[in-house]
Structure 1
Amino acid sequence: MASSSAGIVTGLVTAALVTVGVLAHQASVSAPTDLDRSRATVDPAPGAVKAPRDRRHPDALPAGSGTGERVVYSVDDDRVWLVGPANKVRRTYEVTPSTVDPAPGTYRVTSRSNRVTGSDGVPVEHVVRFTSAEGVAVGFSAAVDGSTAKPDPDRRTGGIRESRADGDAMWTFATIGRQVVVVP
């Protein structure tokens, strides 16, 4: 009888360990991790004010936009900075924003496509995606025909449009994992 009870206890312990293992695996699969780079890693503080810009030098890198090699995108100024080592701006240029803005924060480039059709139906090249907002992928791209027309305000689009030359520079600079800092 003792060996029968021991066998039952061993079976119950084994079943319990398997159940705990399965539940732990499910929790780890569904829980966000540091590898989820499509989420902002810095939330703006409630009531935060926009970082002051150098009005004498509108192309100047925004204060508080981080350090190291990165892409900086200002939602309010519709401008991008490609920042190299030692905080040196390699290139800055104006962009045409999409109808969906990413939240201010720090992201990483998650995917790239050489040529696709944009969410607005326009053929685009050098697509560099870094997040999603309102169910739309958000990233930088250049229209193959070179156009940078404002998108239809009645459509949710995530393509931040660049000229083809600026798109080439972004494509070369913003590889998978590159930091993208979005500022107001």
Structure 2
Amino acid sequence: MAARLPSWAWVTGLTAGATAAVVVLAVQADHGPHPTAAVTRPSASASPHPHATVTPKEPADPALPDQSGDGRRIVYSVGEKRVWLVDATGRATRTFTVWPGTVSPQPGRYSITLRTQSLKGSDGVEIEHVMYFTKVSGVNVAFSNALDGASPPPANGQKLGGIRMHKEDGAALWSFGDQGTKVAVVD
């Protein structure tokens, strides 16, 4: 004769099975598409569509500065603290913000004179994707990014010519600009 399981054993087994199923479904749902909430705003005027949905616009990238040259180039705006990568047709393919050093280049036309994969910056930070393009008062001015992706530490009175950027932007700039690539510096 077979032994009967007590009711508490059945309840415990079913509860454990149900909990496991819920966990599996939750993990699967976490990896699936996530719904987004629609933004609705009330209108001051009468509308034939009282429940119209307003889709927020993506913020537009800042326009490429006028008088930044032509052709394939890197454009650096000292005032906007921003870089644009411009293809041969004159279209900006990427733009991003940067953290400039304490020494800024004068507006003008330059070119990449030296590329170094990685080194220790004059501020003591390990950097990579270093692309030199001018010198100001004996200080080298170059684009780079910190190996750890961090923004530069305070300068503490040092004269620094590093124009730092996020790690992914540094990699994009490194891929874009070879030695000789034009650099346009604007206000």
* 1:151 shift after superposition: 3.6
**Structure 1 gaps, min length 5:** 1-55
* 1:175 shift after superposition: 0.4
Secondary structure of 1:165 counterpart: helix
Contact 2:122–2:160 (CA under 8 A) maintained in structure 1 = yes
Matched, 1:152 2:149: no
* 1:130 shift after superposition: 0.2
Q: Residues 22-65 of structure 1, C-alpha deviation per residue, up to 9 Å, x if partnerless?
A: xxxxxxxxxxxxxxxxxxxxxxxxxxxxxxxxxx9561100110
Query: Normalization by structure 1: what TM-score?
Result: 0.67
CA distance in 2, matches of 1:149, 1:116: 15
2:75 equivalent in structure 1: 72
Say which of 170, 178, 181 aligns to 1:175. 178
Q: For the aligned residues, what is the CA RMSD?
A: 1.4
* 1:153 shift after superposition: 4.7
Contact 2:61–2:95 (CA under 8 A) maintained in structure 1 = no
Is the helix fraction higher in 1 or 2? 1
The residue identity in structure 2 corresponding to 1:75 is V
Matched, 1:102 2:105: yes
**Structure 2 gaps, min length 5:** 1-58
Query: Normalization by structure 2: what TM-score?
Result: 0.66
Q: Residues 81-122 of structure 1, C-alpha deviation per residue, up to 9 Å, x if partnerless?
A: 000021111110000011000010000100010010111111
Say which of 116, 124, 131 aligns to 1:128. 131
CA distance in 1, matches of 2:128, 2:149: 10
Secondary structure of 1:169 counterpart: helix
Secondary structure of 1:86 counterpart: coil
Displacement over 4 Å in runs of 4+:
none
Question: Compared with structure 1, are the counterparts of its residues 101 and 181 closer, same or farther at alpha carbon in structure 2 (3 Å cutoff)?
Answer: same
CA distance in 1, matches of 2:139, 2:152: 19
CA distance in 2, matches of 1:103, 1:175: 22
1:89 equivalent in structure 2: 92
- Greater C-alpha radius of gyration: 2
Question: How many residues in Structure 1 have an aligned counterpart in Structure 2?
Answer: 129
Contact 1:106–1:179 (CA under 8 A) maintained in structure 2 = yes
Residue identity over aligned pairs, in percent, reads: 47
